[in-house]
Amino acid sequence: MSCKDVNVSRRSFVGQTATAAAALTVAPGVFLHTVAEAKPADQAVTSDVRWGMLIDTAKCASGCTACVSACNTENGIASHNRPRTDQQWIRKVTLRDKQTRHEISLPMMCQHCESPPCVDVCPTGASFKRDDGIVLVDRHICIGCRYCMMACPYKARSFAHETVDNTVDYVPRGKGTVESCTMCVHRVDEGGTPACVEACSEAEHGAMIFGDIKNPNSEISKQLVEHGGKQIRADLGLNTGVRYRGI
Amino acid sequence: MQQFQKRMHNTLITIAGLALLAFSAFVFASPEGKPSFAPEVPHPTNGTTECVEPEDDMKKNHMNYLLHQRDETMHEGIRTKQYSLKECINCHVPKDSTARFGDNQHFCSSCHNFAAVSIDCFQCHMDRPMNKEASGSKALGKNPHGAQMSKPVSTKIASTSADATSTQGSKQ
């Protein structure tokens, strides 16, 4: 193949790409996004997506616990009125700068790390990360040793000390195992959004955005590009899937 | 004398054999041709007549199907319904059933009690179909990942009495 031929084919390639890009543009400023659809039920999750969250602490109201109660309702988590041992998948944290007395409020839950310490320490393989970045506990394998609870820098995991009698069929939970935020994996697999994000939106705060951080066209990616998103304890190098603004 | 003993022996064997035959006919042959002392396993009440696999296969291999499905769902997010425990329950346990796992009337325990096989599925999983209306999952799949759900956002900064770094929420 001559040098000229190569140039021609490259030119035509560039031309085709430009045509394709133009086809995606309906009108100036209006773009056709890939419609996010639920994956077919019989297909495994892939590492082509990574689910993440972006939380804007400026929008998170300090008295509001809509995300916490939505999580509890969704996952059938009930209090036994024993705060030290009650399960908790998401909690509200208030941070106050002692010098400036500036306060920020934020929801704290499993940060769905890329390199999760809970997975490193699990002796049975019950703590694992799905290909799409969601960190879960396989309760079928969990022996309740609680190493993961000790390893987690975010205090994100809870142990079920007591018989769970109010489970819902899509989130089976039971005594003697560790549990934490699943990013509402049962919803996500069906194309839904986590309950906390939905509740935050319904409460008209809109402080939480959920989406695929590997897809440059997703809302979360655009926001991350524009505003950035900090990791809590970035020094640990865990590359968390949950990012915060304004901390 | 020896001949008499031998004849007696043969007669006894014949009588014992006949008795055994009669007993087995009594025990094993119920009117439907099923073993009469085996438990009556409740059949689906929703009009379904065929299981996901032939009945004999399910009797023998249901545990393998469930185990395989369990790992696929948990680790790979494959949520097909064919071998899902949830679908077994949805089909075989009537919605208004009061039978719980452990009762002889419950689909799973009817047989497991009889066979003395302990399972711990229902320490976590629901042993009856869930009342979907009472579920917290109100918008499954209704808010696609990509959609921007935010209504007009108003930034509400409520005042708080927290005076130091504190945790609030369900652990209060």
Per-domain boundaries in chain A: 1-32, 51-245
- The CA distance from B104 to B112, in Å, is 9
Domain residue ranges of chain B, discontinuous segments joined by +: 11-40, 41-131
Distance between CA atoms of residues A136 and B169, nearest Å: 22
A158: closest chain B residue by CA = B171
Task: Return the CATH number of the domain spanning residue range A51-245.
Answer: 3.30.70.20
- Report how far residue B156's alpha carbon sits from residue B147's, in angstroms, rounded to the nearest whole number: 23
What are the C-alpha distances in Å from B158 to residues A10, A58, A65, A162, B172?
A: 59, 12, 12, 35, 18
More confident position, A124 or B3: A124
Half-sphere exposure of A154 (CA within 13 A, CB side): 31
Nearest to A86 among B124, B145, B170 (CB): B170
In chain B, residues with a C-beta closer than 8 Å to the C-beta of A78 are: none
Q: Which residues of B touch A172 (CB under 8 A)?
A: 124-126
pLDDT for B99-146, tens place per residue?
899 998 899 999 999 999 999 999 999 999 987 655 544 444 444 444
What mean pLDDT, rounded, does chain B reach? 73
Q: What is the pLDDT of residues B73-109, one digit of tens each?
A: 999 999 999 999 999 999 999 888 888 999 988 999 9
Residue A130: Cβ within 10 Å count:
24
pLDDT of residue A112 exceeding 90: yes
Q: How far is CA A172 from the centre of its chain?
A: 20
Amino acid at A143: I
Instruction: State the average pLDDT over residues A98-117.
Output: 96
Interface test with B, best of A193, A201, A214, A247 (most B CBs within 10 A): A193
Name residue, tokens 């400036």: A100
pLDDT in tens, A216-234: 999 999 999 999 999 999 9
pLDDT band at A242 (very low <50, low <70, confident <90, very high): very high
* pLDDT higher than threshold 70 for residue B29: no
Query: Does B144 contact A83 at a Cβ distance shorter than 8 Å?
Result: no
- DSSP letter for B123, please: G
| pLDDT level of residue B159 (50, 70, 90 thresholds) | very low
pLDDT of B35 above 80: no
Distance CA(A219)–CA(A215), nearest Å, equals 9
For a pLDDT cut of 70, what percent of chain A falls above it? Answer: 85
Q: Say if residue B164's pLDDT is above 50.
A: no
pLDDT of res. B168:
45
Q: Hey, of B67, B68, B83, B137, which one would you mutate to test binding to chain A, going by the most A CBs within 10 A of its CB?
A: B137
The model's pLDDT over A80-89, given as tens digits with 9 standing for 90+, comes to: 899 889 999 9
Rounded Cα gap, residues B170 and A68, in angstroms: 7
Q: How far is A176 from chain B (nearest CA, A)?
A: 10
Neighbours of B65 (CB within 10 A): 18
Q: Is the pLDDT of residue A113 over 80?
A: yes
Q: Which two tokens stand for residue A216?
A: 């440059």
Question: Angle of helix B85-92 relative to helix B107-115, nearest 10 degrees?
Answer: 100
Query: Which pLDDT band holds residue B7 (cuts at 50, 70, 90)?
Result: confident
pLDDT of residue B99: 87
Degrees (nearest 5) of the Cα angle B149, B151, B157?
115
Interval A133-183: pLDDT, tens: 999 999 999 999 999 999 999 999 999 999 988 789 899 999 999 999 999
- Write down the residue that tokens 């369900």 correspond to: B170
For position A22, what pLDDT does the model report? 44
pLDDT score at B172? 36
pLDDT at B151 over 60: no
Nearest CA-CA partner of A163 in B137, B122, B107, B135: B122
- Name which of B79, B93, B80 is nearest B127 in CA terms: B93
pLDDT at B10: 74
Please answer whether residues A120 and A106 qualify as being in contact, where contact means their C-beta atoms are separated by less than 8 angstroms.
no
C-alpha–C-alpha distance, residues A181 and A193, integer Å: 13
